[in-house]
Amino acid sequence: ELTFTALSYRTGPYAANGIPFADGYEDYFTLLNERDGGIGGEPVRLIECETGYNTEKGVECYEGTKSSGALVYQPLSTGITYQLIPKMTADQIPMHSMGYGRTSAKNGEVFRWIFNYPANYWDGASIAIKHLLDVNDGDLSGKKIALVYHNSAYGKEPIRTLEELAEKHGYELSLLPVDHPGQEQKSQWLQIRRDRPDHVIMWGWGVMNQVAIQEAVNIRYPMENFLGIWWSGSENDVKPAGDGADGYKALAFHNFGSDYPLFDDLKEHVIDKGLAAGAGDQVGSVLYNRGLYAAMLAAEAAKTAQEIHGVSKITPVMMRDGMEALEMTEAKMTELGLPGFGPEFKVSCQNHGGNGFAAVGQWDAAAGEWTMITDYMQADQDVLGPLIEEDSMAYAAESGIEPGCN
């Protein structure tokens, strides 16, 4: 038996986003159990623990489940991630903070137990600029870009990168913080209306996303110039604004929709059997797919670990080795029934963050779905590399970690 945990939040202010993710994560493991009898012959046991997006509850969940032999944690909250980094390092259990958490955890020499593949926030920032370069024929000089961000550690993540890139590409960056929860953004959007930035980038979460998009619609800001990070790009965020949100863009590190062979299996083995998690009405939504994707990566890492160590019943320590040796190729994904579902990437001891690929999706209000409008692009690793090095080494110094790979 292999144990996985899902620290999910189906309640609280971010429940609307937590539910589809948790459903996807859970359904994938149910599928493995039903269809394949688990991973490498070992049935999967999934322990779900409700955090309500609350740090203390997250810690409680971790402490309560860690002795169950859980192979990997997906804390699904930057706050909880930060709490758990030192604890899990000490306990020698790997963590996967996929597309969130501490960016510099990419440096596996310092953060031995933490993984954040396939992409992180700084990648996101860089790819966003890359996309804007593309739509502006490669030249952003003199352009005005506004960043509307959640006024928290999460929202502030991209600022460093965007500032760095502003120097490189010559655009003008203005910062517009929005306080939690973000229901009232009149000031920010009036300012945008006055300053008429050429592009708006958003780092939002929860209700802030919906309000921002609605306000953008209200001031008739051109939606195609409005680009969100992947946490600002689900159906939840655009639907309340109705047709006005048509054309809004967001980054993504996995594909949309349920048009993949795997979903047929899901329907057969999970949904039709009435085994779907939650209300079962989230299949194919962006965040559901993200949960599914996270589970898939976890399962693949477990498989890799089983191969490396030649045992089916792996331990968290072995799991780490599997994660560190994980390689996602197109062939592998096709075999899994998810062709082209995510970028190809490879993890190594030095690089726990994958290769930093992401793509841009766009909301089609009439069809009610997200569509990919670009290929996966790689973030500007020249700019990001040093930043990550600097931040992770600072952490290493602070916490007395000897960076290295063994």
**Measured from the CB atom, is 287 or 294 closer to another protein?**
287
Strands (E) located in 204-331? 226-228, 249-252, 327-328
DSSP 32: I
Instruction: Name the minimum Å distance from CB 334 to another protein.
Output: 32
**Measured from the CB atom, is 117 or 205 closer to another protein?**
205
Whether the CB-CB separation of 188 and 214 falls below 8 Å is answered with no
Instruction: Name the minimum Å distance from CB 256 to another protein.
Output: 18
Instruction: Name the minimum Å distance from CB 135 to another protein.
Output: 25
**Measured from the CB atom, is 15 or 372 closer to another protein?**
15
Return the H-helix or E-strand segment holding 190.
Answer: helix 186-195
Instruction: Name the minimum Å distance from CB 90 to another protein.
Output: 4
Instruction: Name the minimum Å distance from CB 81 to another protein.
Output: 10
For 79, 98, 121, 269, 354, the CA distances from 53, given in Å and listed in that order, are 8, 16, 19, 30, 26
Q: Is 47 helix (H, G, I), strand (E, B) or coil?
A: strand
**Measured from the CB atom, is 7 or 328 closer to another protein?**
7
**Measured from the CB atom, is 240 or 339 closer to another protein?**
240
Whether the CB-CB separation of 291 and 9 falls below 8 Å is answered with no
Q: How far apart are CA 104 and CA 109, in angstroms?
A: 11
**Measured from the CB atom, is 205 or 376 closer to another protein?**
205
Instruction: Name the minimum Å distance from CB 368 to another protein.
Output: 11
For 96, 150, 184, the CA distances from 294, given in Å and listed in that order, are 9, 24, 33
**Measured from the CB atom, is 138 or 279 closer to another protein?**
279
Instruction: Name the minimum Å distance from CB 343 to another protein.
Output: 25
Instruction: Name the minimum Å distance from CB 2 to another protein.
Output: 20
Q: Is 64 helix (H, G, I), strand (E, B) or coil?
A: helix
**Measured from the CB atom, is 142 or 274 closer to another protein?**
274
Whether the CB-CB separation of 115 and 298 falls below 8 Å is answered with no
Q: How far apart are CA 300 and CA 180, in angstroms?
A: 36
Whether the CB-CB separation of 275 and 30 falls below 8 Å is answered with yes
Q: What's the half-sphere exposure (Cβ side, CA atoms, 13 Å) at 172? A: 7
DSSP 351: B
Q: Which two tokens stand for residue 187?
A: 């000031």
Instruction: Name the minimum Å distance from CB 390 to another protein.
Output: 9
Return the H-helix or E-strand segment holding 146.
Answer: strand 144-150
**Measured from the CB atom, is 66 or 144 closer to another protein?**
66
Please work out, in degrees rounded to the nearest 5, the angle formed at the alpha carbon of residue 122 by the alpha carbons of 119 and 125.
105
